[in-house]
Amino acid sequence: MVTVQSPQVPAISPFVIRERTGSISTAEIISVLKGEITGLHIRQGFSTEIAKEITARFARNRGLKERKDGVPGQYIGASHYRKDAAGYFAEAENEHPFVDALFGSLVDPVRGLFDALRRELHKHRIELRLATSKRGQANICRAICWSGTGMYALEPHDDVAQVQCADDLAAVAKNTVVALNFYPSMPEEGGDLRIWSHKPTATDRNSQGVETTGYPYSIAYLEAVPSHDFKLQAGDIALIDGGFIHGVTRQLGNRKRRLLLNCFLGFARPDLVLWWT
């Protein structure tokens, strides 16, 4: 008997989007960690002067390199994508000085947010710290310019599949994996962060052949799924539940590059939140 497998139809997962101008609050970050908010966009969330300084430091950083793992982009720092814990923490240790050089002596928004969130969680007896192993410690962020040339500068993906492979972080994958993004530089047009109303399961990933990577989902698979575009500007901050499929639309206009500072965080235990890249 021949069985014909029906194509997996993506289920719609309702999402909650919040967009506003101003300073980010730790209460909102905690709401994203708890899965109460799916996407949070804070316009003008950090100083454009600091944004310019980080962008200039990125361009002259000696640690800037091309990604060689099938995701087109240039970056500084370490990525756990397609790595086991040993490979990831070794890369993180190696890249640490280059990540530090992005900020120099600046009072930067990434460490600012990390410190404020650590103080707030501490009040609730929850520890926030960088993920660590015998081989080293995660960096506070990585800096990336995506360079895909098709419809997407970064193709649709989820951030959870990659974590399930990185031993120590696997506990976090059972909870909300939050992607935290700061945008020091944005093109005149395009480069939107698009999020689809679909949180894939392991079965969905298998049907798309992305069980260990979560990357890339085809445009056909997402065709009937509603989406939301975050229109970003330099100085904006965006947090999303990385379990929902998201991608970055093509950049239009060449005068300014699109630069992202990115990290991930999530509950490893009810009393521990880990932070990694």
- Footprint of ligand AKG (CB under 6 A): 154, 159, 179, 181, 193, 246, 248, 260, 262
**Which of the choices ligand AKG, Fe ion, none does residue 193 contact, using the CB cut-off of 5 to 8 A by kind?**
ligand AKG
In the complex, the smallest distance separating the C-beta of residue 242 from Fe ion, rounded to whole angstroms, is: 6
Select 126 or 215, whichever has its Cβ closest to ligand AKG: 215
Q: How many Cβ atoms from other residues are within 10 Å of residue 249's Cβ?
A: 18
Residue 52 three-state SS: helix
Select 108 or 159, whichever has its Cβ closest to Fe ion: 159
**Which of the choices ligand AKG, Fe ion, none does residue 248 contact, using the CB cut-off of 5 to 8 A by kind?**
ligand AKG
In the complex, the smallest distance separating the C-beta of residue 244 from Fe ion, rounded to whole angstroms, is: 10
In the complex, the smallest distance separating the C-beta of residue 105 from ligand AKG, rounded to whole angstroms, is: 27
In the complex, the smallest distance separating the C-beta of residue 136 from Fe ion, rounded to whole angstroms, is: 23
Report the candidate in 132, 154, 140 with the shortest Cα–Cα distance to residue 88: 132
E strands in 158-245: 178-185, 189-190, 193-196, 227-230, 236-241
Select 163 or 234, whichever has its Cβ closest to Fe ion: 163
Write the single-letter amino acid at 53.
E
Alpha-carbon distance of 73 to 274, in angstroms, equals 25
Pairing of strands 178-185, 236-241: antiparallel
Residue 197 three-state SS: coil
| Position 159 contacts Fe ion (CB under 5 A) | yes
Report the candidate in 256, 274, 257 with the shortest Cα–Cα distance to residue 265: 274
Select 121 or 244, whichever has its Cβ closest to Fe ion: 244
**Which of the choices ligand AKG, Fe ion, none does residue 121 contact, using the CB cut-off of 5 to 8 A by kind?**
none
Give the residue ranges of DSSP H helices in 124-222. 161-164, 202-208, 219-222
In the complex, the smallest distance separating the C-beta of residue 270 from Fe ion, rounded to whole angstroms, is: 25
Contact footprint for Fe ion (CB under 5 A): 159
